[in-house]
Each structure stands twice: as structure tokens, then as C-alpha cells.
Amino acid sequence: MHIINIAHAGVISDAPSVSHIGINVLFFLLSVAGIVAIISLVLAGVKYFLAIGDEKVMESAKRSATYASWGILLAMGSMILIRFMGQFFAQ
């Protein structure tokens, strides 16, 4: 009975391609990077709010918010670029 189940498992052409798996992995990693950047942006906002006029802390929070914003833009731009490249090479 076990051999029959293996025979009905499907053909190798049903398996996803290596490029499809790679794109899925890249999307996952970029999603994680985007989520981390959004969390960093929120934490920078909390840090700025709790600075209570301390200039050094406020500047640090502004710098953190700037880096987090760049991280969000980079992750989103990379996802768009990979999606377009995937569509271009899939044709």
C-alpha cells in the first residue's frame, strides 16, 4: 500500500521551480525587514515623545526615524523590483 501512495505522489513537473522558491524566500526576507523597519519607526517615535526636551535624545530619535524610513523605502522598492524582474524573466 505504501508503494502505491508513492506512485500517486505526482510528477516532478508539479514541483515549484527554483526561481519561484527563490522569489518566495526573498519576499519573505524583505517582508521581515519591512516589519522590523516599521517597528523601529514606531520606537523612534516613542523615543522622541519621551525625550521631554532633551536635545540629544531628540536628535537620536530623529536619526533613528530617518534610518527606519529609509529601511521601509528600501524594502518596498526591493519588493517592487523583484516582482518586475520575476515577471520579466518568467515570460
Q: Which residue has the higher pLDDT, 3 or 14?
A: 14
Q: Is residue 51 part of a domain?
A: yes
Alpha-carbon gap, residue 34 to 66, rounded angstroms: 14
What pTM was estimated for this model as a whole?
Answer: 0.74
If phi over 0 gives left and psi between -120 and 50 gives alpha, with beta otherwise, what is residue 32? alpha
Q: Is residue 2 part of a domain?
A: no
Which residues span the domain enclosing 80?
16-90
Q: Is residue 53 part of a domain?
A: yes
| pLDDT, tens digit, 9 for 90 and up, residues 59-70 | 999 999 999 999
Q: Is residue 11 part of a domain?
A: no
pLDDT at 3: 58
Give the count of domains, the chain: 1
